[in-house]
């Protein structure tokens, strides 16, 4: 099984979570590749394997700057993603009550619209909870892999 982790981040927290998930999942049988979303376009979803969207939220419920080009390209080209399976590990902060975790939600909604199938629930990490997201990521990704 191949897992592609796509990382949307502004200040590196989502990248840290992705690194933890790669360490936890990559055991030879499962091969993990972590890609920052910078410079990716919708063709990334033609890769072999399953996808894990690991992204934070910025602005007013927007995807981070490094995820914008990929998100827009998906929305414009609207590729058929019916063969794609994915999970979402989202990061946000409940202080932003109206737009909590919307970065992950936006990817989730768009991928579903394009025919992709989500595996498991979308994780919504809350930075105001005091819980370290990289620790949650470790547990969450093992449960996610078991569902695949
Ligand atoms: C300027 C700014 C705007 C933010 N806007 C939102 C938001 O609208 N919704 C949300 O859930 N979190 C929001 N956050 C919280 C971040 O998503 C959260 O701190 C996350 O852990 C950052 O991860 P990163 O370091 O990978 O970018 C915002 C944070 C900052 C600094």
Each residue's pLDDT tens digit, 109-127: 999 999 999 999 999 999 9
Per DSSP, what are the bridge partners of residue 8?
Answer: 55
- Are 44 and 2 contacting, i.e. CB atoms less than 8 angstroms apart? no
* Pocket perturbation via mutation, ligand 1, pick of 9, 36, 68, 92 by most ligand atoms within 8 A of CB: 92
pLDDT in tens, 77-105: 999 999 999 999 999 999 999 999 999 99
- Tell me if 120 CB under 6 Å of ligand 1: no
**From CA 92, how far away is CA 95, in angstroms rounded?**
9
**From CA 44, how far away is CA 47, in angstroms rounded?**
6
**From CA 60, how far away is CA 92, in angstroms rounded?**
11
- Are 132 and 101 contacting, i.e. CB atoms less than 8 angstroms apart? no
pLDDT in tens, 58-67: 999 999 999 9
* Pocket perturbation via mutation, ligand 1, pick of 20, 66, 93 by most ligand atoms within 8 A of CB: 93
């Amino acid at each position: 099984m191949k897992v592609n982790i796509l990382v949307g981040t502004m200040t590196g927290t989502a990248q840290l979570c992705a690194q933890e998930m790669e360490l936890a999942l990559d055991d030879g049988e499962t091969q993990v590749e972590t890609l920052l979303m910078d410079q990716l376009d919708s063709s990334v979803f033609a890769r072999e394997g399953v996808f894990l969207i690991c992204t934070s939220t910025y602005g007013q419920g927007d995807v981070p700057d490094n995820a914008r080009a990929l998100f827009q390209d998906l929305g414009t080209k609207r590729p058929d993603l019916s063969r794609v399976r994915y999970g979402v590990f989202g990061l946000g902060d409940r202080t932003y009550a109206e737009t909590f975790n919307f970065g992950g939600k936006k990817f989730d909604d768009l991928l579903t619209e394009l025919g992709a199938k989500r595996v498991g629930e979308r994780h919504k990490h809350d930075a105001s909870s005091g819980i370290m997201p990289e620790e949650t990521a470790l547990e969450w990704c093992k449960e996610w892999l078991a569902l695949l």
